[in-house]
Chain A
Amino acid sequence: MSKSTIAAISTAQGEGGIGVIRISGVDAITIADKVFRAARGKKLSEMKGYTAAFGQVVRDNEIIDEAIATVFRSPNSYTGENVVELSCHGGLFITREVLRSVLEAGAVPASAGEFTKRAFLNGKMELTEAEAVIDIISAKSRIAARSALSAKEGALWKRIEGLKNSLVNTAAHFSAWADYPEEDIEEVTGENLRQNFSEWLSELDNLLKTYDKGRTFREGIDTVIAGKPNTGKSTLMNLLSGRDRSIVTDIPGTTRDIIEETVIVGDVILRLSDTAGIHETGDTVEKIGVDIAKNRLKTCGLVLCVFDGSQALDEDDKKLIESIKGVPSVGIVNKTDLGVKIDRIYIKDRLDYVVEISAKSGEGYDRLSEIISKVAGTEDFNPSEGILANERQRNAVMNAKKALIEAKNALDIGMTFDAVEVLLEEAIENILELTGERVSEVVVDNVFHNFCVGK
């Protein structure tokens, strides 16, 4: 049957107690062996079906989590293929990390319903059961269709309706003009087309922004805790996560790697990385950590920039402030319990927000939480206004945007309108992928509705 070995998180994603990563396919056991180290040292490939082993999931010799691996051998598994299920600690971050290492070891991500599909295709189910499976799969896609758009009453549908109508009207105008050249139809000109393009593109951009905000809600913000060594970053991380995870010492450079944790502050999910302290160092190992941290700073969604409030700002602090220019940031003046000596005005002038806390005692936490909501934009964000909820929708909009940009380019270099029109229809097709309508029917209907044509 299928050659690829697939993997996915098969428990509900979120803050569950246990997360299961399921791997299915010919190489499921070999792949699992690459990431799983049994406590008793026995390889999974040496184990019989329906047996389990306790051990650790590792990546690059680093332990990600403790887990139980259950081995199923073909054909006695849910899918009928070799299957390994890794049960690890729940939570977004851990399960994803485990999945990531499984994928790195050679599995490919499973698409929606693929385990069931394989089970079905491998004859694991009777005909009557198979019908039920199809029911489930189609029910899923029906719910998905209903969720935002196809039902034509979803918030997103309403939101894109105007855009869709505008695109379809333009395409229909072109079609009427081209298909009825001798009718009295207003000429299509580059001028009126050009004006539409900027409106369409900005609307698409707005839509894409909703995806980012929506994702902020669902998946959290990639957040870096930055600061020179020993300003209390690890203490802050522990305050936010409520767990003693980073090694907290008074020796600068204790945290050499990026330690990640998903925490909820107010109503915002933060995916925290506690980075190695950023400073000039001669220690090679430490330098790698510092480099990674610097890189992270540029790509993350939020920087919590920690300063030791009990000391004056130094060059390292100022460099850090300089390096996070343009990234949403909150300056955190820590160690207020030791008295504040730092130049607050300097920080306030350069960072979006400043808050004073004592990570040790927890003082100032509420204020920090408020500010994070503000930065995340969740204060004024209303998902019922219509947002792009998933990657498929986002892709459709991205493709529409791409087609429109190409169409605009065609127009700008002076291509004939038929080429522009074909690209325009591609954009419409992508938008309609969200509503389940089809492009040629829509355009043709519109032609007859809006234009007086005939022999």
Chain B
Amino acid sequence: MNYKAGKYDIAVIGAGHAGIEAALASARLGCRTVVFTINMDAVGNCPCNPSIGGTAKGHLVREIDALGGEMGKTADKCFLQSRMLNRGKGPAVHSLRAQIDRRKYSDVMKHKLETQENLELHQAEITDIKRTDDCYTLTTRMMAEYEVKAVIIATGTYLGGRIFVGEVSYESGPDGIFAASFLGQSLKNLGLPLRRFKTGTPARVLKSSIDFSELEEQHGDEPPIPFSYDTDDLGENKVICHISWTNEKTKEIILKNIHRSPLYGGKIEGVGPRYCPSLEDKIVRFGEKKRHQLFIEPCGENTEEMYLQGMSSSLPEEVQVKFYHTIKGLENCVIMRPAYAIEYDCVDPTEMNATLEFKKFNGLYGAGQFNGSSGYEEAAAQGLIAGINAALKIKGKEPLVLDRSTSYIGTLIDDLVTKGANEPYRMMTSRSEYRLVLRQDNADVRLTPIGRKIGLISDSRWERFNRKQELKAEELKRISKVVVPPSEKINEILVSRETTPLSTGAKLIELLRRPQIDYKALAPIDETRPNLDSNIFEQVEIEVKYAGYIEKQLKQVEQMQKLEKKRLPEDFDYRELKGLRLEAQEKLNKIRPLNIGQASRISGVSPADINVLLIWLSQRK
């Protein structure tokens, strides 16, 4: 017999990276929120790499933090090693990545949910969602019925999860936790078209069975840089990682057993990501490469499990043992958890608006892998936006849609809901056309005012943010005024950096404009320099040095925003516009872009079609 378990504003299905951000945002915005997790010990689980951030993903974490999300703060608390990737390639592609203690991460996040006002966390599998007039009824495996105004689905790889290791295959979520086997059918009955995606993870091996003696070490940056604008000091890096390589022998074993891979044997129907190929994928697709790199990363401070980044596989366990043993340092490694591939149900994100609400289902939202993305950070970003929008809707407020020029979060969501995902979507810096503006150093400038307006930024943080902006403005003023006279000291610095010495005085700002010169170089002669947060110097320097390029991008942003302001009607049948090509009519009816800008990004809508839309729009006025 079902029983009534209560009424809530918002239910979040899943307490992974998407669910956590969604639930916290919704509760913090004053909505009574209930969160369901299949396993209470799997809240904020990291079933793949024990790290947060990375290229473009680091940007996402900073942005989540700037908006008032949790991921960055928790990652800082659990950090083991931190590195700023891509130093030297330019500020647009600087990305922060931290190795983290995955158990601790899970504990910290769970505790945050437990202590959050307005939020209840339950261990329960949701087996059914029913829509009534103005609400949804969720039923748990234990037959509890929850009545809610909005639902956020964040089921990750649990929904219809199936694991593949060689010939072995069984229903399961990650890390031995059972899958959500009933909800999929319920969603199909509701009318959501589901499809199968796949991903995979490498083996975890016992630290003491690895011979590190001849492996290259990888150390963290000193001092390590935190993700959160709220974290002052991380302390010291706690671990080192190691690098090794596969070889001809590894390749030979894999090719000999390739027929035993469920991917090549045709057992997996799900579409896997191109950027996260299994080792067998890499070897088959890039046959000319003699070796592939791998990173050996600790899973935590109080565990001997080591993650083998780059070595994902779905070959039989027996074959895994053989090929891992061909790798230098791993000759005698003991596999604690084998590598596996996992297939799961997800939805076509073009069914959603940029608010992450389903177009056809008022109050139903999706986030994370369920939406066809991949990665903890991508999931958290969507969770945050879905949580914010569900709450704003319940409060009767305007929704939050971040456009592409504001953030990687906006770019991610726009890509998903406009272009769809033919494979699990991973964020990359090359996906943003506004890279020089959307940097990891200035996420706060871009998004904290928005977070404040929504209500996720506390008074103290807001004051701190404003103070920082003042200090930044003062510093900019200072370097525009201070003149450095020519001297032996400064010219020595300039010459050592291979740039022209001074013959007359130059302002600090002029020196900083030189590509070869940074704050650090000028320290010995910059006597009036105040003691400021390093992020202020970072932002000032980049804005000065890249001013011309940034301005160029801002002009492009302006152009884009003009098109974004031309709104398209919500209910028009594009088949009536005979001037559009057939494909464009179909795509426009399916995606239902909000404006001309979004329409122009739909593949299959040509510039000629856009002209037709523009003419038609101006005629309607």
Query: Distance (Å) between the CB of A184 and the closest chain B CB?
Result: 5
* CB pair A418 B92 closer than 8 Å: yes
Given contacts A138-B580, A138-B611, A182-B293, whether A422 and B92 have CB atoms under 8 Å apart is: yes
Taken together as a complex, chains A and B put the C-alpha atoms of A440 and B611 apart, in Å, by 22
Query: Distance (Å) between the CB of A185 and the closest chain B CB?
Result: 10
Given contacts A137-B611, A179-B429, A454-B277, whether A419 and B436 have CB atoms under 8 Å apart is: yes
Residue B397 CB within 8 A of the other chain: no
Which residues of chain B (234-250) have a CB below 8 Å from chain A? none
Please name all residues of chain B whose beta carbon is closer than 8 Å to the beta carbon of A184 when the two chains form the complex: 289, 291-293
Which of the segments A6-14, A50-58, A231-239, A441-449 contacts the partner chain?
Answer: A441-449
Among candidates A120, A436, A448, residue contacting B619 with C-beta atoms closer than 8 Å: A120
Task: Identify the closest chain B residue to A178 (Cβ).
Answer: B93
Chain B: interface residue total (CB-CB under 8 A): 61
Please name all residues of chain A whose beta carbon is closer than 8 Å to the beta carbon of B609 when the two chains form the complex: 138
Query: Distance (Å) between the CB of B316 and the closest chain A CB?
Result: 21
Among candidates B86, B285, B312, residue contacting A452 with C-beta atoms closer than 8 Å: B285
Residue A145 CB within 8 A of the other chain: yes
* CB pair A179 B430 closer than 8 Å: yes
* CB pair A439 B433 closer than 8 Å: yes
Task: Identify the closest chain A residue to B202 (Cβ).
Answer: A455
Please name all residues of chain B whose beta carbon is closer than 8 Å to the beta carbon of A178 when the two chains form the complex: 55, 86, 89, 93, 429-430
Query: Distance (Å) between the CB of A140 and the closest chain B CB?
Result: 9
Residue A313 CB within 8 A of the other chain: no
* CB pair A145 B275 closer than 8 Å: no
* CB pair B577 A134 closer than 8 Å: yes
Query: Distance (Å) between the CB of A400 and the closest chain B CB?
Result: 15
Given contacts A145-B606, A415-B515, A422-B553, whether A443 and B289 have CB atoms under 8 Å apart is: no
Please name all residues of chain B whose beta carbon is closer than 8 Å to the beta carbon of A251 when the two chains form the complex: none
Query: Distance (Å) between the CB of B85 and the closest chain A CB?
Result: 5
Residue A287 CB within 8 A of the other chain: no
Task: Identify the closest chain A residue to B427 (Cβ).
Answer: A179
Query: Distance (Å) between the CB of A435 and the closest chain B CB?
Result: 11
* CB pair A455 B49 closer than 8 Å: yes
Query: Distance (Å) between the CB of A84 and the closest chain B CB?
Result: 25
Among candidates B603, B618, B619, residue contacting A441 with C-beta atoms closer than 8 Å: B603
Query: Distance (Å) between the CB of B188 and the closest chain A CB?
Result: 31
* CB pair A134 B578 closer than 8 Å: yes
A contact face: mostly helix, strand, loop, or mixed: helix
Taken together as a complex, chains A and B put the C-alpha atoms of A441 and B92 apart, in Å, by 19
Contact with A along B398-438 (1 / 0, CB 8 A): 00000000000000000000010000000011111101100
Task: Identify the closest chain A residue to B619 (Cβ).
Answer: A121
* CB pair B312 A455 closer than 8 Å: yes
Among candidates A132, A175, A414, A454, residue contacting B276 with C-beta atoms closer than 8 Å: A454
Which residues of chain B (427-458) have a CB below 8 Å from chain A? 428-433, 435-436
B contact face: mostly helix, strand, loop, or mixed: loop
Query: Distance (Å) between the CB of B579 and the closest chain A CB?
Result: 3
Please name all residues of chain A whose beta carbon is closer than 8 Å to the beta carbon of B293 when the two chains form the complex: 182-184
Query: Distance (Å) between the CB of B574 and the closest chain A CB?
Result: 12
Residue B607 CB within 8 A of the other chain: yes
Residue A158 CB within 8 A of the other chain: no
Task: Identify the closest chain A residue to B312 (Cβ).
Answer: A455
* CB pair A418 B93 closer than 8 Å: yes
Taken together as a complex, chains A and B put the C-alpha atoms of A419 and B289 apart, in Å, by 30
Among candidates B310, B428, B430, B579, residue contacting A138 with C-beta atoms closer than 8 Å: B579
Contact with A along B610-621 (1 / 0, CB 8 A): 011001101100
Task: Identify the closest chain A residue to B288 (Cβ).
Answer: A452
Residue B181 CB within 8 A of the other chain: no
Query: Distance (Å) between the CB of B244 and the closest chain A CB?
Result: 12
Given contacts A181-B85, A417-B89, A444-B430, whether A422 and B618 have CB atoms under 8 Å apart is: no
Which residues of chain A (401-443) have a CB below 8 Å from chain B? 410, 413-419, 421-423, 425, 436, 438-441, 443
Taken together as a complex, chains A and B put the C-alpha atoms of A137 and B578 apart, in Å, by 11
Residue B358 CB within 8 A of the other chain: no
Chain A: interface residue total (CB-CB under 8 A): 49
Taken together as a complex, chains A and B put the C-alpha atoms of A414 and B497 apart, in Å, by 11
Which residues of chain A (99-142) have a CB below 8 Å from chain B? 117, 120-121, 130-132, 134-135, 137-138, 141-142
Taken together as a complex, chains A and B put the C-alpha atoms of A387 and B616 apart, in Å, by 33
Which residues of chain B (289-347) have a CB below 8 Å from chain A? 289, 291-293, 295, 309-310, 312
Query: Distance (Å) between the CB of B515 and the closest chain A CB?
Result: 4
* CB pair A175 B430 closer than 8 Å: yes
How many CB-defined contacts (below 8 Å) exist between A and B? Answer: 147
Query: Distance (Å) between the CB of B215 and the closest chain A CB?
Result: 15
Taken together as a complex, chains A and B put the C-alpha atoms of A414 and B500 apart, in Å, by 13
* CB pair B436 A418 closer than 8 Å: yes
Taken together as a complex, chains A and B put the C-alpha atoms of A281 and B309 apart, in Å, by 87
Please name all residues of chain B whose beta carbon is closer than 8 Å to the beta carbon of A453 when the two chains form the complex: 275
Please name all residues of chain A whose beta carbon is closer than 8 Å to the beta carbon of B275 when the two chains form the complex: 180, 448, 453-455
Task: Identify the closest chain B residue to A150 (Cβ).
Answer: B606
Query: Distance (Å) between the CB of A144 and the closest chain B CB?
Result: 8
Residue A157 CB within 8 A of the other chain: no
Taken together as a complex, chains A and B put the C-alpha atoms of A381 and B468 apart, in Å, by 64
Residue B516 CB within 8 A of the other chain: yes
Residue A72 CB within 8 A of the other chain: no
Please name all residues of chain A whose beta carbon is closer than 8 Å to the beta carbon of B176 when the two chains form the complex: none
Residue A78 CB within 8 A of the other chain: no
Residue B396 CB within 8 A of the other chain: no
Please name all residues of chain B whose beta carbon is closer than 8 Å to the beta carbon of A135 when the two chains form the complex: 578-579
Taken together as a complex, chains A and B put the C-alpha atoms of A175 and B601 apart, in Å, by 20
* CB pair A455 B309 closer than 8 Å: yes
Taken together as a complex, chains A and B put the C-alpha atoms of A421 and B546 apart, in Å, by 13
Which of B85, B88, B611 has the largest number of chain A CB atoms within 10 A? Answer: B611
Taken together as a complex, chains A and B put the C-alpha atoms of A150 and B607 apart, in Å, by 11
Residue B7 CB within 8 A of the other chain: no
Among candidates A416, A444, A447, residue contacting B90 with C-beta atoms closer than 8 Å: A416
Taken together as a complex, chains A and B put the C-alpha atoms of A178 and B619 apart, in Å, by 46
Among candidates A150, A417, A439, A452, residue contacting B289 with C-beta atoms closer than 8 Å: A452
* CB pair A454 B91 closer than 8 Å: no
Residue B282 CB within 8 A of the other chain: yes
Residue B608 CB within 8 A of the other chain: yes
Please name all residues of chain B whose beta carbon is closer than 8 Å to the beta carbon of A150 when the two chains form the complex: 606
* CB pair B429 A175 closer than 8 Å: yes
* CB pair A181 B86 closer than 8 Å: yes
Taken together as a complex, chains A and B put the C-alpha atoms of A425 and B49 apart, in Å, by 32
Residue A177 CB within 8 A of the other chain: yes
Taken together as a complex, chains A and B put the C-alpha atoms of A425 and B436 apart, in Å, by 12
Among candidates B88, B430, B578, residue contacting A447 with C-beta atoms closer than 8 Å: B430
Among candidates A181, A436, A448, A452, residue contacting B55 with C-beta atoms closer than 8 Å: A181
Please name all residues of chain B whose beta carbon is closer than 8 Å to the beta carbon of A182 when the two chains form the complex: 85, 293, 295
Query: Distance (Å) between the CB of A346 and the closest chain B CB?
Result: 52
Contact with A along B15-50 (1 / 0, CB 8 A): 000000000000000000000000000000000110
Contact with A along B64-101 (1 / 0, CB 8 A): 00000000000000000000011011111100000000
Please name all residues of chain A whose beta carbon is closer than 8 Å to the beta carbon of B619 when the two chains form the complex: 120-121, 130
Query: Distance (Å) between the CB of A247 and the closest chain B CB?
Result: 50
Among candidates A145, A413, A416, A448, residue contacting B88 with C-beta atoms closer than 8 Å: A416
* CB pair A422 B309 closer than 8 Å: no
* CB pair A120 B615 closer than 8 Å: yes
Taken together as a complex, chains A and B put the C-alpha atoms of A418 and B438 apart, in Å, by 12
Query: Distance (Å) between the CB of B604 and the closest chain A CB?
Result: 11
Taken together as a complex, chains A and B put the C-alpha atoms of A39 and B619 apart, in Å, by 40
Taken together as a complex, chains A and B put the C-alpha atoms of A413 and B498 apart, in Å, by 11
Taken together as a complex, chains A and B put the C-alpha atoms of A422 and B93 apart, in Å, by 11
Residue B3 CB within 8 A of the other chain: no
Taken together as a complex, chains A and B put the C-alpha atoms of A276 and B214 apart, in Å, by 88
Query: Distance (Å) between the CB of A1 and the closest chain B CB?
Result: 10
Given A131-B579, A415-B90, A454-B310, 8 new contacts (CB under 8 A): A121-B615, A134-B616, A135-B579, A138-B611, A145-B608, A184-B293, A454-B275, A455-B312
- Give 7 A-B contacts (CB < 8 Å), ordered by A residue: A121-B619, A134-B577, A138-B611, A150-B606, A178-B430, A181-B55, A444-B431
Please list the 5 inter-chain residue pairs (A to B) with the smallest Cβ-Cβ separation, ordered nearest first: A418-B90, A134-B579, A416-B90, A175-B430, A418-B92
